[in-house]
Homo-oligomer: A and B are copies of this chain.
């Protein structure tokens, strides 16, 4: 996938990250697309908004996409490199392609995904980096809770 197309898909996830921030939540967004770029589901972190520890951006987008028969040709787009939980989701359901906004604030499982045959495109997007870095600086305890770093 070329960078221009990947960036267009990332814009949807960034929009969800902004929504989460506006709701007082952790600003991470995600979206699941089919191979033609049709949106199947989108979502964002819901730890604050719904006190739901199980809804990271990727799991919310996955849920919103409903039951799919196969994920091999699907594209998961997320503003931040997926944690082990969300990387496990990607591996178990064999999602073929993952576009990450950035992996500087958190590297997650992207090396493991690549080792297991997942195409990972890291866009090192400056808005994603800044939005989350600012949030972590102001909300360190909440951030640590969200990644199990207590």
Seen from chain A, the residues whose Cβ lies within 8 Å of a Cβ on chain B are: 47, 51-55, 59-60, 62-63, 65-72, 83-89, 91-94, 109, 145, 147-148, 150
Given A53-B62, A54-B62, A62-B53, verify A94-B148 contact (CB < 8 Å): yes
Known interface pairs A53-B66, A54-B63, A85-B85; 14 further A-B residue pairs with C-beta atoms within 8 A, sorted by A's residue number: A51-B67, A53-B65, A53-B68, A54-B89, A69-B145, A72-B150, A83-B92, A84-B89, A84-B92, A85-B92, A88-B88, A88-B91, A93-B148, A94-B148
B148, A67: Cβ atoms under 8 Å?
A: no
Q: In the complex, A63→B59 CA distance in Å?
A: 12
Q: Which residue of B lies closest to A50 (CB)?
A: B63
Main secondary structure of the interface of A (DSSP, over half): loop
Stoichiometry, as copies per complex, reads: 2
Instruction: Give the complex CA separation of A68 and B66 in angstroms.
Output: 28
Q: CA of A112 to CA of B101 in the docked complex: distance in angstroms?
A: 28
A88 with B84: CB separation less than 8 A: yes
User: Given A84-B88, A87-B88, A88-B87: A70 and B147 within 8 A (CB)?
Assistant: no
Q: Which residues of B contact A89 (CB under 8 A)?
A: 54, 84-85, 88
A47 proximity list for chain B (CB < 8 A): 67
